[in-house]
Amino acid sequence: MNLSGKTAFVTGGANGIGKATSQKLLEAGANVFVFELSQDRIDSFIKEANSDKLAAYQGDVGSEVAVMAAFEQCKAKFGGVDILLNNAGIGIPSPDLSATDVEVFDKMVNTNMRGVFLCTREALKVMKAQKSGHILTLISMAGQRTNPGAPLYCASKFGARGINSGLADQVLKEGIKVTDVNPGPVDSDYWGNREVPRDKFLSVNDVADVIMFAICLPEHVVMREINFDSVAWLAK
């Protein structure tokens, strides 16, 4: 894999799947611009990576002002955007909808849908001008099947999938590829302190490897949707 000369913009790129993918992108020679909510995570990752190909901006993907500023900084630093990974996401269980605060819904929609729209919109402005680009969105299988324990999370992911589905046909003739990345359960911070069989889940590196596979396909090949899971989880 040689991505030298390419620039990737990764949301939530200093933790979990985002960080694992950012590391692999750097190893492949790409410039990586991380957009991350936590300044502490940014500082830690920059120190760890120790690379002049890595830059970052602290902000919330749900903030239009922050997203626009981050893309301006990315363009100023690296000259453009070739790859967007919409990785940032938040999941809050809602097993009893009748007792769920509206703030829970708002938080997930703000990150999982609004954030995807805002970042995608800014990336498209660059990609349309250069007639090339690849937008990948970490949706998960929660965007394809419902979960009685987290219907609002599923709704936000179904919404993100809806954005990508229409977008994929809208921009393909302009040389821009769109990919939905749909892993099953992943051993990540998403689960918090919940008692789940993490040893049977995908690892963040597993997901990063799949993302890199999609990115490194020949220019004339696009994977519109990637569904994958852990064998141990499926065989439970």
Q: What is the set of active-site residues?
A: 153
Q: What's the full length of the chain, in residues?
A: 236
9: helix, strand or coil: strand
DSSP secondary structure of 109-155 = HIIIIIHHHHHHHHHHHHHHHHT-EEEEEE--GGGTS--TT-HHHHH
Q: What is the CA radius of gyration of the chain?
A: 17
Cα dist. 109→96, 146, 154 in Å? 18, 16, 10
Structural contact between residues 212 and 228, judged by C-beta atoms closer than 8 angstroms? no
**Dist CA 116 CA 87 (whole Å):** 9
